[in-house]
Structure 1
């Protein structure tokens, strides 16, 4: 009787999530937290120059992850605005809010003469509407780069 040994090779697939230097990775996205302040529109242009956009917050987990990165008293622009239609808050990609974290009494358009048409995220996890020409820090968001490599283990 002739016996043969069977050798099974398994291909191993490794997926690496990559973000540019100075960007943070969470789930399948990369986030950049600015250290300088600009108006909402200038901040969005800065994000676009990096192939990104002001952050769009899609879940409580994402919101909490971002808030944990903020320093005490920090306020940052997010990709939220009602500049097209007052009171109709939309994300930069055109989607309407499906969840929100507005502070008490917000959004209130308090500076009605100038219009508080742009959204901010505050260090306490609440959102606020403010004048778009204010200078604030911001968070950019873009999809991470997934690199997949497949390897076959060596048999010695």
Structure 2
């Protein structure tokens, strides 16, 4: 089941983030070339780049959490007994899940407000609420990843099963 979840994350948020980054690359190339050779940039290029950056950053969040590639403060790890490290990891993942869920809820309220007021981008007149809804959904997905790690430690997730004897949890 964990391998299926990992595959799903790779093919959903990972592919979405990769495609957005690829689009930013092409948009930047076309925009810079247009300014250099045609004295004309892509209309709304900055707005498109900003929206695509949101997709890259928030799309990568669930994968960063799943792969445990986030910034870790491990200065005190040498002083924490081994028997406490598993509990510590679960508490940290539970705290992260709560924080990401709270951010998702806040972004949901922001998306509702954007939709209610009809907020749009300045140049391209694109609605902002779908972007905020996407951010909210990806934050919630990241919270769910951390909830999975409360039950199954990341080491177990990386190996597709429960942590083996002698491995840190």
Q: Which category describes the TM-score, using the shorter chain as reference length?
A: under 0.3
TM-score with structure 1 setting the length: 0.23
TM-score with structure 2 setting the length: 0.22
Q: Choose between structure 1 and 2: higher strand proportion.
A: 1
Larger relative CO (CA 8 A, sep 6+): 1 or 2?
1
